Structure 1
């Protein structure tokens, strides 16, 4: 694997009896990068994580994780990765602190590290609360704290903010960006395209087991911005959407000269709009 590539998928496919779950998946994930694997439920996102982490065997292709073939992973690889999924269990009768301390012992992590992670996920004031009494958002933050406690090189997140309130989701986003800055590679599956656009360096749009678009969110949106338009707000709350043509360019220049423009934005499509365009299907179907 080339330098700083921590994960590489090459021509991965997966068939379950008569169902083709994945078809020719190719991608790489680098150190200090967030890669979004995006698509609706049933598109193959969780299946891909299970193949990468050695829980499932692919039908064909090669998955390399930290230089190791995922079909032949030994236990030592799990000391270098973290996984957060919707079935990441916690010990409900133990306190928040005890849940982390148990795993700190397993990973040989210092008490100081436990304290830092507790603060990072905003659970310091709940340290003595039984985990079973946490809200859904607090529980998800505890699961995330446990997954990053040992400073994994690669973190796998399967729909980490699904069903959470906006403020909790924002707190988790902030933490993920901090982890990225520390050099962690993050593989994020989600059907939330707005979340992906905020967080991800690269995204793969997955539809029926195939990657239909791959690149940075901005690259993908600009690629599909074929009919360029601009939203212009003028004095007096007059809002217009103008196509890019010589006549409208002159209008905008005149308004600018007279200082009448209050706001102007380009109208490139969102990731969700692009997904609908390339698949013909709504993301939530």
Structure 2
């Protein structure tokens, strides 16, 4: 497939801090690509270099076969950018806001109104932006990034701070954007989001890419145990340890959990004893991959 973005060994340094340190990857046309990492991993700086907002100290970037830096005017109509923090013109309504963005690209007011409809904000068109909820403001921000019908969309933590319902609604919008043939590049702290939305991800830390691939492939490569949980008290913890000697057994008073790499005989043994109350079976997730690669320590 054709590569929309080619990043080759880029680096960015601020004094003694190496924010991006030899990053390389490609994003194919029509792909939903995620860049994941803890705070300070270099995700946003990498995105800003690709977008042409920041110059790399070394390495090269190609977007649609062109360099985005120095600020490439020819690329601007083809890309849409939704920044990490939404910032709107003061005192404008949602309609006035998107009409202002549309006018910068020579897009008609009718097309701007249609974009409001597509992101589910037609009924909020007359509402001033500061009165919008968090989810509505994020939808408007994405609408402004899409109003000129770009081929490539950058989304920097678009669901940060949203409640679960708003996040799920925004996921549907992001899927729709990608289904229309647009290439989407996403950064996010939410691993379930990346697992649900992205065709491929790159996990970054300390300015470097640690691992890349489809989420399911990365999870399968982890070789993590399957976690089998039943209601606490259904089976005594000591009895479970005796039955499943090679497994890790824990009981928090709510659930007894057996972590094993051979789940079939464990499930069979539980079934034989009628100990399946509250049964849940969970395999590894992208979060497990992330934590193994980046560690569990808190990043402020």
The TM-score normalised by the length of structure 2 is 0.82
1:91 alignment partner in structure 2:
89
1:9 aligns with 2:7: yes
Name whichever of 64-73 and 101-110 sits farther off.
Answer: 101-110
Q: CA-atom RMSD, angstroms? A: 2.7
Residue of 268, 282, 286 corresponding to 1:271:
286
Contact 1:30 1:185 in 2 (8 A): yes
The 2-side partners of 1:251 and 1:102 are apart by 62
1:151 alignment partner in structure 2:
149
In structure 2, the gaps of 5 or more residues are 236-255
How many Å apart are 1:136 and its aligned residue? 2.6
Q: Deviations over 1:96-140 (max 9, x none)?
A: 111112222332334443233212222111111122322232222
Contact 1:121 1:171 in 2 (8 A): no
The 2-side partners of 1:173 and 1:17 are apart by 38
Contact 2:33 2:200 in 1 (8 A): yes
Q: Deviations over 1:229-280 (max 9, x none)?
A: 352669x9777636244xx634645878999978976643322222222232
The 2-side partners of 1:207 and 1:189 are apart by 13
1:209 alignment partner in structure 2:
207
The 2-side partners of 1:92 and 1:237 are apart by 59
The 1-side partners of 2:112 and 2:274 are apart by 55
SS of 1:71's equivalent? coil
1:1-285 → structure 2 map (5 Å cutoff):
3-226=1-224, 228-229=225-226, 231=228, 241=258, 243-245=260-262, 249-250=264-265, 252=267, 267-282=282-297, 284-285=299-300
The 2-side partners of 1:222 and 1:213 are apart by 13
Contact 2:77 2:150 in 1 (8 A): yes
The 1-side partners of 2:206 and 2:108 are apart by 44
The TM-score normalised by the length of structure 1 is 0.86
Provide closer, same or farther for how the CA distance between residues 96 and 259 of structure 1 changes in structure 2, counting only shifts above 3 A. same
How many Å apart are 1:198 and its aligned residue? 1.2
SS of 2:159's equivalent? coil
The 1-side partners of 2:227 and 2:84 are apart by 41
Provide closer, same or farther for how the CA distance between residues 22 and 252 of structure 1 changes in structure 2, counting only shifts above 3 A. same
